[in-house]
Structure 1
Amino acid sequence: MSADLAGLYPLRLTTTAKSLVFGGHAIARRLGKAGIPDWSIAETWECSDVDGAGSVVTAGPLAGLPLRQVVLDHPGALMGAGWSGRYFPVLTKFIDATGALPVHLHADDEAARRLEGRPNGKTEAWHILDASPGATALCGVKAGVTAGQLRAALEAQDFDAVLRRLPVRAGETLYVPGGTLHSFGPDTLVYEVEQTSDIQQHAMRWKMEDGSPVGDAEFGANLDMLMRQVDLGSRPDFTPGLSIAVGDGVQRVFLCASPFFALERWRAGTAEPLRHSFATAQILSNVGAPVRVRTGVWSEELGRAESLLLPAACGEVEITGPADVLFGYLPDLDRDVCGPLLEAGYPLPLIAALGAGMGASGADTRES
């Protein structure tokens, strides 16, 4: 179905810029993103339907309409046949960890519903765009650490005593299930894809909004809730992704995948354009030089570090190279991930290492 016949078209969205204590100027100066404030920025929310920080359409006939309303008005055309939901299910961000992020976790779905009164938790994945030599991340509790030992170390702010410290390299991706304690930075630039949620529990004695101290009573309450949500057995590792050649000088890399989201990185030279067919909404984020994007009769330039939401009704997109772009989406795992990778010769255990739930049926992955 073409975008014009469906009443939808590629959507340019407002970006929410977050000024947090660990941020810097890398999103503007290293990625080249324009239109954000000229002060320390930690995150830009590229496509968001989080309550209170939802994206709004900025161009075309739907200009001024919140993304939430587009979801409600055009669920099938936006998300694909058979989808139903009350909000857009995937959140994407650029994150500048000029400083280290606070040690924190996000509840998984079960804990979010039981303890936080929220419809879902927040599993996420980090794709490393750039990192200084020797950069590391904290992710997961060391094997053998008990809940008591973890609580004591968090109270003492002795994170390396109980948390795994992993090397960080540009081009790799880490899938982080809900309940996993984590942090990354300093001097690390990340593209993050996650469930639509801003739920989190921190283990710090300072607030990430302004660095102000957290009092003893609040700190103790924060740790109480964190300990009720932490998964002591979650120990994910970075992966380089799985690559498929799809044309002359065109490369497709599956970076991560689960029932909650998938992320791919595509690169193209000048021998032929990047051509991608899809049946679910795609969050297209440009991490290279400006490119020309075409779908149906629609054609526009996508600048550095800009994003575009391609409705499922578009069906296909063509991008003129040289190009270096990311596609984030809610997958039908069998159709969108396992099928192409199995056809390319990858074994199931290697595919499963991209995330979680790779045995789930398409029906399981299309509800939010």
Structure 2
Amino acid sequence: MSATGTEWYPLRVTAPPRPLVFGGHAIAKRLGKEGIPDWAVGETWEVSDVDGHQSTVMDGPLAAATLRELVAKDPEGLMGEGWSGEFFPVLTKFIDASGALPVHLHADDATARAKEGQVNGKTEAWHILDAAPGATALCGLKDGVSKEELHQALLEQDFDAVLRRLPVRAGETIYVPGGTLHSFGPDTLIYEIEQTSDIQQHAMRWNMQDGSAVPDEQWHANLEALVGEIRLEPRPDFRSGLPIVAGDGVERMFCCAGPHFALERWHAGTAQPLRHSFATAQVLTNVGAPVQVRVGDWSEELGPAQTLLLPAAVGRVEIDGPADVLFGYLPDLARDVIAPLTAAGYSRELIAALGEGLEPQT
């Protein structure tokens, strides 16, 4: 129970599918997610507090409450001691890029406030769950590309002239700062974690919702807006993460981290359960076979590609192996990321490469 008297427990929340033109059937067929339709699914938003796409609790005493309502009801019980805010700060998704995503960007925080009238932008990270041999992603501009050269390439739809094309491999993660032009697919399946936002600027002549043509006047306006919001300097790379031993046969992999979110992937065998204590809300997503999850007296099975939101107030989770799960959260970087990795012997240079805000203080 939290200080407000809220009886917190692991929350199953709605994760509606989105029928986008680049989607397919990989979320059901490759990950085993049940309860989604047979039509091509581009995304499932596993935990979301985006306006118009808010997750709702599915069962228990808090059933039918939205994340926004839970934040208002007991922000510290949900997010951790000392936290305050108007909405749940982390958005997580499965994305099936059976086809290629549009080339697009999301504004960074300062640009979102200045040009979009939003309180924050959208930095994101992609954790690759599956990818065909030879799969690639576009991410960041080539060195030396000017805004004028970029605009001309976008008019010609010649993206490889200005964008870096990177190889994509399962198990790797890339941290993508707001303002970075990007795309990925085809034949790529990812788990995405990001700031709570849906702002974006597209370079394509088609709409990703239904493939319909974007009128010329609107398309040129879109390109002008995109060039006005882009950051020229970010050139992120895919990384394999930093593992530490968390028990007998239990591995804790730090995939990425920054001020807006962190993502870890844990593997456990059968010698010991996975045991994880935490002080901030955890988005627990199963990317393996069904597992048994225990929080205090609460115990339930979590199926493939299913998600639980673990409020900070519950504090600890135990999962029987074999297990392959993700934990996404809003970190205290010093406590949740730097301290355990430093204790494991990693240099600050290696830790800093996980994302942003991890460099040694000068």
TM over 0.5: yes
Match of 1:303 in 2: 303
Q: Could you give the per-residue CA deviations for residues 231-270 of structure 1, whole angstroms, max 9, x where no partner exists? A: 1111100110000011111000000000000000000000
For residues 1-368 of structure 1, what are the structure 2 equivalents within 5 Å? 6-359=6-359
Shift of 1:108: 0.2
Q: Could you give the per-residue CA deviations for residues 277-336 of structure 1, whole angstroms, max 9, x where no partner exists? A: 000000000000000000111110000000000000111100000000000000000000
Shift of 1:115: 0.3
Match of 1:365 in 2: none
Mind listing any 5+ residue stretches in structure 1 that lack a counterpart? Answer: 362-368
Q: Could you give the per-residue CA deviations for residues 185-215 of structure 1, whole angstroms, max 9, x where no partner exists? A: 0000000000000000000000101111111
Q: Do the aligned partners of 2:4 and 2:74 also contact (CA within 8 Å) in 1?
A: no
Q: Do the aligned partners of 1:2 and 1:315 also contact (CA within 8 Å) in 2?
A: no
Shift of 1:146: 1.0
Counterpart of 2:101, as a letter, is L
Shift of 1:43: 0.2
Aligned equivalents of 1:360, 1:81: Cα separation in 2: 25
Counterpart of 1:7, as a letter, is E
Shift of 1:38: 1.2
TM-score, normalised with respect to structure 2: 0.98
Paired residue secondary structure (1:255): strand
Shift of 1:2: 8.3
Q: Do the aligned partners of 1:78 and 1:312 also contact (CA within 8 Å) in 2?
A: yes
Shift of 1:358: 1.5
Change (3 A) 1:229 1:64: same
How many corresponding residue pairs?
A: 361
Match of 1:366 in 2: none
Counterpart of 2:140, as a letter, is G
Q: Could you give the per-residue CA deviations for residues 138-170 of structure 1, whole angstroms, max 9, x where no partner exists? A: 000000111111000001000000000000000
Q: Do the aligned partners of 2:348 and 2:359 also contact (CA within 8 Å) in 1?
A: no
Counterpart of 2:294, as a letter, is R
Aligned equivalents of 2:352, 2:229: Cα separation in 1: 25
Shift of 1:74: 1.1
Aligned equivalents of 2:264, 2:118: Cα separation in 1: 28
**Deviating runs (4+, > 6 A) in structure 1?**
1-5
Q: Please, what is the CA RMSD of the aligned residues?
A: 1.4
Counterpart of 2:271, as a letter, is A
Aligned equivalents of 1:76, 1:148: Cα separation in 2: 47
Paired residue secondary structure (2:63): coil
Aligned equivalents of 1:43, 1:246: Cα separation in 2: 32
Aligned equivalents of 1:139, 1:328: Cα separation in 2: 22
TM-score, normalised with respect to structure 1: 0.96
Counterpart of 2:295, as a letter, is T
Paired residue secondary structure (2:49): coil
Paired residue secondary structure (2:50): coil
Counterpart of 1:289, as a letter, is A
Q: Do the aligned partners of 1:265 and 1:325 also contact (CA within 8 Å) in 2?
A: yes
Shift of 1:274: 0.2
Counterpart of 1:318, as a letter, is E
Identity %: 70
Counterpart of 1:202, as a letter, is H
Q: Do the aligned partners of 1:259 and 1:360 also contact (CA within 8 Å) in 2?
A: no
Stretch moving more, 350-359 or 256-265? 350-359
